């Protein structure tokens, strides 16, 4: 019995010595050796993301904006940080996340050459992978909404500022309103403009309304889009009422059968588009129907020089 207890004590003593030895080896900082690598630790408190370019155009600089920090944080491309925890007690076999600065492994000249080579390879990759459809194109305000036609890209489950949104409407209206609809994501704003009413923030449908056109345009500069579908190579499409934007004008003289065939063809695809008819026939026939405007012109009028 005594031999068993003595053997057990020796075993416990050996295990304690081995543990202390491993602890010393893992925490020592002997001269001539590289200093221990910094361990990653989360920042104390919420990180302050780098603000995207939210500066207004000079004509909108006088309009006050209240920034929404939680939305701006989603726009930050990289809001993580690696810092040394410092002063912590490391145990053997403890899983640790280490941050290694690989730039110190290069000489300054070699580092510049490597960076230039990588940049050249990256530009070559972009030229191979991108096409003309990736170029940002902004549709002029003929609708009268100005919006991006193509070239706006957002990573899955990330957020971006939507470029190019603007409303170029006639002055003197009591209320200006813009409705935005998305099928693969949601809308929000990076800041709230005084005098603009927002409905549907964080939802697929967003309505912006204001009695001031400048205030509404400043708010449109802060509209964000967030992807909510993890699908690559998909796109949200713009939807608008073409009947409010397009009017078809045509002239006729006697050939009413051709005119009726034209109207039937238009009604097949655009049943609500307005058709304006200029008729200078001697004996005009009646052309009627929904969204048709028939104007009779003088017959046989001759200009004298």
Residues 6+ apart with CB under 8 A from 246: 270, 273
DSSP 219: H
Return d(Cα 222, Cα 226) in angstroms, integer.
13
Q: For the chain, give the longest Cα–Cα distance.
A: 137
Which tens digit of pLDDT belongs to each residue from 164-219?
Answer: 999 988 888 899 999 999 988 999 999 999 999 999 999 999 999 999 999 999 99
Q: What is the pLDDT of residue 229?
A: 80
Return d(Cα 93, Cα 87) in angstroms, integer.
18
Q: What is the pLDDT of residue 260?
A: 92
Q: What is the pLDDT of residue 6?
A: 76
Which runs of E-coded beta strand occur in 133-210? 137-139, 145-150, 159-161, 166-167, 176-181, 185-189, 191-193, 197-199, 205-210
Q: Can you give the pTM of this predicted structure?
A: 0.56
Q: What is the pLDDT of residue 298?
A: 84
Return d(Cα 76, Cα 84) in angstroms, integer.
23
The token pair at 138 is 């902004």
8 Å CB contact between 130 and 136: no
Cis peptide bond prior to 144, omega within 30° of 0:
yes
**End-to-end Cα spacing for the chain:** 137
Q: What is the pLDDT of residue 41?
A: 43
Q: What is the pLDDT of residue 35?
A: 46
Average pLDDT per 10 consecutive residues for the chain, totaling 305 residues: 69 80 60 44 45 77 91 72 54 62 83 92 88 84 83 87 90 90 92 94 94 94 90 70 79 89 91 90 88 86 58
């Amino acid at each position: 019995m005594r031999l068993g207890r003595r053997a057990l004590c020796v075993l416990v003593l050996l295990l304690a010595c081995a543990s202390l030895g491993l602890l010393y080896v893992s925490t020592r900082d002997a001269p001539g050796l590289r200093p221990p690598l910094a361990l990653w630790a989360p920042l104390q408190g919420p990180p302050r993301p780098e603000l995207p370019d939210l500066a207004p155009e000079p004509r909108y600089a006088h309009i006050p904006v209240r920034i929404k920090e939680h939305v701006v944080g989603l726009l930050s491309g990289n809001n993580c940080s690696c810092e040394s925890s410092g002063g912590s007690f490391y145990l053997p076999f403890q899983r640790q996340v280490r941050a290694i600065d690989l730039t110190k492994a290069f000489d300054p000249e070699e580092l510049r050459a490597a960076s230039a080579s990588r940049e050249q390879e990256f530009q070559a990759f972009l030229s191979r992978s991108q096409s003309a459809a990736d170029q940002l194109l902004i549709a002029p305000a003929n609708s009268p909404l100005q919006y991006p036609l193509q070239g706006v890209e957002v990573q899955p489950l990330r957020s971006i500022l939507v470029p190019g949104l603007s409303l170029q409407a006639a002055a003197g209206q009591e209320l200006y309103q813009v409705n935005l609809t998305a099928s693969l994501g949601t809308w929000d704003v990076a800041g709230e403009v005084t005098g603009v009413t927002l409905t549907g923030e964080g939802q697929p449908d967003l309505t912006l309304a204001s009695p001031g056109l400048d205030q509404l345009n400043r708010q449109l500069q802060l509209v964000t889009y967030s992807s909510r579908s993890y699908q690559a190579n998909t796109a949200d499409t713009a939807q608008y009422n073409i009947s409010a934007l397009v009017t078809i004008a045509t002239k006729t003289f006697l050939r009413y059968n051709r005119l009726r065939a034209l109207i039937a063809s238009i009604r097949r695809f655009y049943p609500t588009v307005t058709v304006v008819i200029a008729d200078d026939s001697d004996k005009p026939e009646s052309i009627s129907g929904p969204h048709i405007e028939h104007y009779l012109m003088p017959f046989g009028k001759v200009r004298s020089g």
